Structure 1
Amino acid sequence: MNEGQKTGLFCIVGLLTLAVGLFLSWPNAERLETSVTPGKPLFENFKDPLAAASLKMVTFDEEQGQVDTFEVRRDRDTGVWTIPSRKGYPADAVEQMKDAANALVGLQILDVQTRNAEDHEALGVVEPKLEALEVGDVGVGRLVTFRDEAQKDLASLIIGNPVKDEEGKIYVRKPGQDPVYVVKLEEAALSTRFQDWIEEDLLQLSSIDISKMTIKDYAASMTQRGIALTRNYTAEIKADGSNWSLGKLLEYPADNPLADPKVVDVEPTQTLNTEKLNDIKNALDDLKIVDVVRKPEGMSDNLRADKDLISDNEAVSSLASRGFFPVSTGDGGEFEVLSANGELNVSVNDGVQYVLRFGNVSGLTEDDDKSADEAEGESESGTGVNRYLLVTTRVDEEQFPAPELAPVPQTIEELAAMLGVEAKPQPKDEPAKESPESQPEMKEAEKPADSTDANQDKKSETAAEEMKTESDAKTDEPKTDESAKADTDKPAEVKEPADKKSDSAKEQDTKPETKEKPAAVEEVEVSGSGEATGEGQGADDGDAGDDKPADETPAENDAAEVKSDTESGEPAAMENAAKKKDGAEEELSFAELSDDEKQERLEAEQEKILKENTRKLDERKDRLNAAQRRVRDLNARFADWYYVIPENTYRELRIQRDELLTAAEPIKLDGSNPGTANPDGLNGPE
């Protein structure tokens, strides 16, 4: 083979190699060209934001040389969102997750900045892989990954530096690929800030619902001998809207904090510091957390520790390092957890009482318990430190006193006594039956007509006939004063029914009675209170009997009294008269009932009272059950966590003894005093 043939053969082989190379590289080139075309969506298959079941964001701390991970995930079975990077703390992530996913759904490529890997550092899109990074490395981006329920990737993106002089535009790239794209991204929705993914309002209470606060100002610390406790004061302060009043103030001996406290007598020149107390209310309403740490096992939701926890040195060390110390209560082997910086108990109108216990400054525990957002939290606190807090709730039993129940009458007599009337009133048209002790000794002719002695009945009939004959004989003779008086001294006569009395008999009834007047029915007026009086009842009224006719009814008397009071401008007298009238009508109406009707009235009153008593009991039970449910729900949130709050919030929630009371403002002589002081120095403004 000559040289020409060899050269031709080499050309043919080269062409074939070039053809094979072009053939093999063609699909990849076509795919790459399609994926980087401006105007195309960066994630063509990610179209439904609700399909995202988890979000993981990885960042790199250049100074510490550490990779921090923040993750939010939805439980497949319960549907509850949690934060695995915070030991499963509950997340309020429904809306936040949708907004974050929408940031990548339909994200369009605006431009291709570069295809060279050497440019990644300058554009800030280096992938945050811990094994490939060291302290001081720069240009590391934030890796954002969305996954579905099966933990299959829906979208993954490295977010880099913003484009200079192009607001809203940013450099991004896909992990494992070299091209860097320019997109317009709503980066705020992809926050790694812990507070953005939780229910930030920790207590979920309103300041206007606060009814009482109990401040327990004490300090606890760990020493070689055990727990050292210093007590300063305890104050119970009641709130009524914007007004404050001091329930009690106790102080403890400085040399013996376990001794009984002394009640402090507040000087009249002192009043509560309402400005500081209002600051506490507002801080409670707006209490926010910056981080959480899971509590050790064995600590109940009411902040008590069991024996297993006390025997666990690691758990006790975890508590003590954060400023919480288990102290034996002597009650069934339980231990109360005291705090390094006292506590605040807050009651609200629905019967729930919050217990807040303040621990040490945060950041003094192991590094793995530190918040990834500690720097942000410190900047928010304004002091460079945060504070640990334990929270629990319980039912405020004082807000659920037993209701006052009305007594239920069991007999007709008890019902009558309750109504203020006589159970068996005297008949109107029959002589009153007086007790033997009150009846004067009567002559034979004066004994009642219903005597069982037959001879006495005969004598009474004979006497009655003689009296009638004598009366008929003297009918036409005018009666003198002596004869009228003599008539009143005669023995008891048989009276005719009231509707058959003659006019002269009616006139006789109106005349004053003498001491020897036989027993007769007296109409007794009953006041609203059920007490019998003799007003307006003839001779029993004394001088009034001379001025008022005896046949004037109680209702007419009341009407006359009301008219007189009205003319004199006394409305109270009108009300009293109405009450008297109602009381009299009640007695008459009850007295007119038969025994069966009285029994029916008794049963009706029993049913009415029982229904009202049951309503009161049910109302208390419903309120108590609602408070218990609320306590359970809140403690389900609080039970497992130490909370971390900004230091300035802690300072707003604390009040020193010398801040509690202030000097009362002097009262201006012109009466324009605007202050909040009261003479007793205890209550807020009226």
Structure 2
Amino acid sequence: MNEGKKTGAFWAAAAVMLAVGLFVAWPASTETEGENTAGKPLFEKFKDPLTASNLKIVTFDEEQGQLGTFEVRRDAESGEWTIPSRKGYPADAVEQMRDAANALVGLTILDIQTENQGDHEALGVVEPKLEDLEVGDTGVGRLVTFKDESQQTLASLIVGNPVKNEEGKIYVRKPGQDPVYVVKMDDSVLSTKFQDWIEEDLLQMSSIDIKEAVIKDYSASISGRNVALERNYTAKFTMEGTDWMLDELLEYNPDNAMAEPKLVEKPADKDLNSDKLNDMKNALDDLKIVDVVRKPDGMSANLRADKELVSDNEAVQSLYTRGFFPVGSGADGEFEVLSANGELNVTVDEGVEYVLRFGDVEGLSDESDEEGEESIGGVNRYLLVTARVNEEQFPAPDLQPVPQTIEELEAMLGVGEETETEEAEAPAEEMKETSEEVTEESTDAEPAETEEALPEEAEPEMKEGEEADAETSTEESSEGDSEGENTEEPATESVEEIEVSDEGEATGEGQGAELQDEDESDAPADDAAAADDSSDASAEESTEASAATEEEMALEPAGDDATEETAEPAEEESDELTFADLTEEEKQERLEAEQEKILKANTRLLDERKDRLNAAKRRVADLNARFADWYYIIPEATYRQLRINRDELFVDPGANEAAAPGAPPAGLPPGMQLPGGFGN
């Protein structure tokens, strides 16, 4: 290369170097990045919260130096939400997931707090990476990540500390980037608390639906290679309206748990402890869990252990460590699972029975109740739950027998009793005829003769008839008398006597007689013909009244009610006679019609029972699908509400509150001690 070429290359290289130097040295724009990004969304592509099908939240435990992962996921095929971090426990996450996703959808940057990585710890936005952390590290934030069904990331954000004196504002940053942003968001919906993502009502029952409860107070424990069982009592309670009733109380021999129990009556000087029972009922209605552990795969939904399970040492150990012990039940080689602290069986009105078995304690509790108080004793309790159909709630219906022959139909209808009915009515007819004959004789006879014609025992009741006869005699003797006084006075007495009767006919007669008296009072005193007619009419009316009175007396001993009862058999007699008059062919048709009618009624009763039973079975299947795979963990405070010791069953009359757990209740007989084995 000649000198000219060398010089040209040198200047060309110098020019390039000068250009690079000028570019590097050129002053930066005075416009900050915050001015360019403020007001912009953090995740422009994340616009629909319903596209989120997976949420994962990673946290860091400073004391333990460990990461905690909480995840909620929707199955692409079934659409069901589960919690993979809890072995796939079902999640009630539709609304919760929507609210959590909405916290990041449209999240707008308010300001850039810093771009210096050294400020991350102070602002609480250090990324939770286990390889970068150790015990005691501080300032670690929550890493929140949403993904869609294809597992593509929709949004990922490290949530840090709240901004001081700025309510609702919080520091956040994107993983792998240095800028820390200030945003306004509600991070409470980004919860890692298990209870926030599940169905809170474990049993899904209402306390007002409870019909009965059975407390099985026993304790089981391992003694060598055997299970030691101590049984205290079994009590059955039923609800009548809003009141508890004790149906049965059995006590067991403390020296022989397998001996037959003794039936015990409620003390006469004690009341049932309704306060304690109501606490139990309310705890069932509001039963909440704090955690779950998956049960061994070989364990079925009805809490019976099969042979494969009891031969699996790992599965048996899983049960033992939680206070549940498979023992031979003697039925088809099955093994029943007993629990360390007894059972509680509760039946609701739809015929579903819940079986709750209480195991041992589980670790220290960091859960607080609604008042912010820690669980009693700082522990939780293992619980096994199952459901089954209570067959006693579906008794066989009372079916009506179906007649198979005409004779059976006649017996069912009461045909053949007509003869007895006629014989029973014959004496009444004879009495009526006798009374009419006596009345006819008394019309022509003197008052004295009338008295002799009546039975002696009827004399006190025949006063009305006697006065009517005397009235007739008086009117006859005064025939032709022109004075109105002799005619008016007997007529007035006749009216008074007739009105005493309750019979419509007699009352009508009395009204006619009264009108006749008024006519006689208005007639001239010297009109003999009118007087004769009036006297004859009065005599006839008195005679009829006497006959009506005696008829009434003949029927009076049975009373008005008897009269009504007499009318009913007469009506039945008419029906029976109608059936008796049917031809054999017509009777056969009637038999077939009755058979069809009764069969339809019986079928309806059977179908109603079957429908109720099937509904209960479906409900049990749905519940056991949720209960089958899990040990539940409940707060100790809830466990103490569900368990009732023997000495807590009864209280002094008028007592308003049950005795505190572990303290002797008022009124215990001298020397009686509290039974042990519960609430360990």
Shorter chain as denominator, the TM-score bin is 0.7 to 0.9
Q: Secondary structure at the match of 1:265?
A: coil
Using the TM superposition, give the Cα deviation of residue 543 of structure 1 relative to its aligned residue in structure 2, in angstroms.
5.0
Using the TM superposition, give the Cα deviation of residue 245 of structure 1 relative to its aligned residue in structure 2, in angstroms.
1.1
Q: Deviations 1:280-299 (Å, cap 9, x if unpaired)?
A: 11110000111000001111
**What is the one-letter code of the residue matched to 1:546?**
T
Q: Deviations 1:484-519 (Å, cap 9, x if unpaired)?
A: xxxxxxxxxxxxxxxxxxxxxxxxxxxxxxxxxxxx
**1:412 matches 2:406:** yes
**What is the one-letter code of the residue matched to 2:223?**
T
Q: Secondary structure at the match of 2:106?
A: coil
Using the TM superposition, give the Cα deviation of residue 194 of structure 1 relative to its aligned residue in structure 2, in angstroms.
0.5
Match of 2:149 in 1: 149
**What is the one-letter code of the residue matched to 1:585?**
S
**Distance in 2, Cα, partners of 1:565 & 1:402:** 51
Match of 1:528 in 2: none
Q: Secondary structure at the match of 1:407?
A: coil
Using the TM superposition, give the Cα deviation of residue 581 of structure 1 relative to its aligned residue in structure 2, in angstroms.
3.4
Conserved? CA contact 2:157–2:174, under 8 Å: yes
Match of 2:638 in 1: 649
Using the TM superposition, give the Cα deviation of residue 278 of structure 1 relative to its aligned residue in structure 2, in angstroms.
0.8
Match of 1:622 in 2: 611
Q: Deviations 1:4-60 (Å, cap 9, x if unpaired)?
A: 99998886343322467699x99xx99994896111111000001110010000000
Match of 2:289 in 1: 289
Match of 1:534 in 2: 423
Q: Secondary structure at the match of 2:424?
A: coil
Q: Secondary structure at the match of 1:632?
A: helix
Conserved? CA contact 1:382–1:647, under 8 Å: yes
Q: Deviations 1:154-182 (Å, cap 9, x if unpaired)?
A: 00000000000000100000000000000
CA, structure 1 residues 226+588, in 2 after alignment: closer, same or farther (shift >3 Å)? Answer: same
Q: Secondary structure at the match of 2:79?
A: coil
**1:580 matches 2:583:** no
Q: Secondary structure at the match of 1:195?
A: helix
**What is the one-letter code of the residue matched to 2:424?**
E
Worse-matched range after superposition: 326-335 or 30-39: 30-39
Q: Which runs of 5+ in 1 are unaligned?
A: 365-372, 426-523, 525-530, 551-555, 667-686
**1:633 matches 2:522:** no
Match of 1:14 in 2: 17
- Give 2:597's match in structure 1, choosing from 608, 615, 618: 608
TM-score, normalisation: structure 1: 0.73
**1:42 matches 2:45:** no
Conserved? CA contact 2:56–2:144, under 8 Å: yes
**Distance in 2, Cα, partners of 1:48 & 1:580:** 81
Q: Deviations 1:261-302 (Å, cap 9, x if unpaired)?
A: 111122322221111111111110000111000001111100
**Distance in 2, Cα, partners of 1:303 & 1:41:** 53
**Distance in 1, Cα, partners of 2:433 & 2:73:** 95
CA, structure 1 residues 33+260, in 2 after alignment: closer, same or farther (shift >3 Å)? Answer: same
Using the TM superposition, give the Cα deviation of residue 532 of structure 1 relative to its aligned residue in structure 2, in angstroms.
2.8
- Give 2:585's match in structure 1, choosing from 593, 596, 605: 596
Using the TM superposition, give the Cα deviation of residue 259 of structure 1 relative to its aligned residue in structure 2, in angstroms.
1.0
CA, structure 1 residues 316+409, in 2 after alignment: closer, same or farther (shift >3 Å)? Answer: same
Conserved? CA contact 2:431–2:554, under 8 Å: no
**What is the one-letter code of the residue matched to 2:103?**
A
**Distance in 1, Cα, partners of 2:113 & 2:560:** 94
CA, structure 1 residues 375+285, in 2 after alignment: closer, same or farther (shift >3 Å)? Answer: closer
Match of 1:478 in 2: none
Conserved? CA contact 1:217–1:342, under 8 Å: yes
**Distance in 1, Cα, partners of 2:567 & 2:243:** 40
**1:77 matches 2:77:** yes
Worse-matched range after superposition: 640-649 or 239-248: 239-248
Q: Deviations 1:418-447 (Å, cap 9, x if unpaired)?
A: 010139x8xxxxxxxxxxxxxxxxxxxxxx
Worse-matched range after superposition: 382-391 or 207-216: 382-391
CA, structure 1 residues 99+574, in 2 after alignment: closer, same or farther (shift >3 Å)? Answer: farther
**Distance in 1, Cα, partners of 2:401 & 2:172:** 80
Q: Secondary structure at the match of 1:537?
A: helix
Q: Secondary structure at the match of 1:362?
A: strand
Structure 2 counterparts to residues 291-310 of structure 1, below 5 A: 291-310=291-310
**Distance in 2, Cα, partners of 1:575 & 1:150:** 85
**Distance in 2, Cα, partners of 1:199 & 1:93:** 9
**What is the one-letter code of the residue matched to 1:143?**
L
**Distance in 2, Cα, partners of 1:87 & 1:22:** 59
**Distance in 1, Cα, partners of 2:623 & 2:555:** 61
**What is the one-letter code of the residue matched to 1:133?**
L
**Distance in 1, Cα, partners of 2:554 & 2:639:** 66
**What is the one-letter code of the residue matched to 1:411?**
T
Worse-matched range after superposition: 409-418 or 377-386: 377-386
CA, structure 1 residues 313+571, in 2 after alignment: closer, same or farther (shift >3 Å)? Answer: farther
Using the TM superposition, give the Cα deviation of residue 374 of structure 1 relative to its aligned residue in structure 2, in angstroms.
4.4
Match of 1:497 in 2: none
Conserved? CA contact 1:380–1:646, under 8 Å: no
Conserved? CA contact 1:208–1:241, under 8 Å: no
Match of 1:206 in 2: 206
Percent identical pairs in the alignment equals 64
Root-mean-square deviation over aligned CA pairs = 3.5
Match of 2:507 in 1: none
**What is the one-letter code of the residue matched to 1:161?**
N
Structure 2 counterparts to residues 60-75 of structure 1, below 5 A: 60-75=60-75
Conserved? CA contact 1:206–1:285, under 8 Å: yes
Using the TM superposition, give the Cα deviation of residue 382 of structure 1 relative to its aligned residue in structure 2, in angstroms.
4.5
Structure 2 counterparts to residues 206-285 of structure 1, below 5 A: 206-285=206-285
CA, structure 1 residues 585+222, in 2 after alignment: closer, same or farther (shift >3 Å)? Answer: same
**Distance in 2, Cα, partners of 1:566 & 1:422:** 26
Aligned positions, number = 541
Match of 1:439 in 2: none
TM-score, normalisation: structure 2: 0.74
Q: Secondary structure at the match of 2:302?
A: coil
CA, structure 1 residues 46+588, in 2 after alignment: closer, same or farther (shift >3 Å)? Answer: same
**Distance in 1, Cα, partners of 2:354 & 2:561:** 49
Match of 1:173 in 2: 173
Match of 2:668 in 1: none
Conserved? CA contact 2:382–2:634, under 8 Å: yes
Conserved? CA contact 1:565–1:574, under 8 Å: no
**What is the one-letter code of the residue matched to 1:618?**
D
Using the TM superposition, give the Cα deviation of residue 384 of structure 1 relative to its aligned residue in structure 2, in angstroms.
1.5
**Distance in 2, Cα, partners of 1:563 & 1:245:** 55
Q: Secondary structure at the match of 2:160?
A: strand
Conserved? CA contact 2:435–2:554, under 8 Å: no
CA, structure 1 residues 268+143, in 2 after alignment: closer, same or farther (shift >3 Å)? Answer: same
Match of 2:110 in 1: 110
**What is the one-letter code of the residue matched to 2:636?**
E
CA, structure 1 residues 30+243, in 2 after alignment: closer, same or farther (shift >3 Å)? Answer: farther
Conserved? CA contact 2:34–2:112, under 8 Å: no
Worse-matched range after superposition: 581-590 or 235-244: 581-590
**What is the one-letter code of the residue matched to 1:534?**
E
Conserved? CA contact 1:173–1:180, under 8 Å: yes
Using the TM superposition, give the Cα deviation of residue 116 of structure 1 relative to its aligned residue in structure 2, in angstroms.
0.7
Write 1 or 2 for the structure with the bigger share of helix: 2
Conserved? CA contact 2:237–2:247, under 8 Å: yes
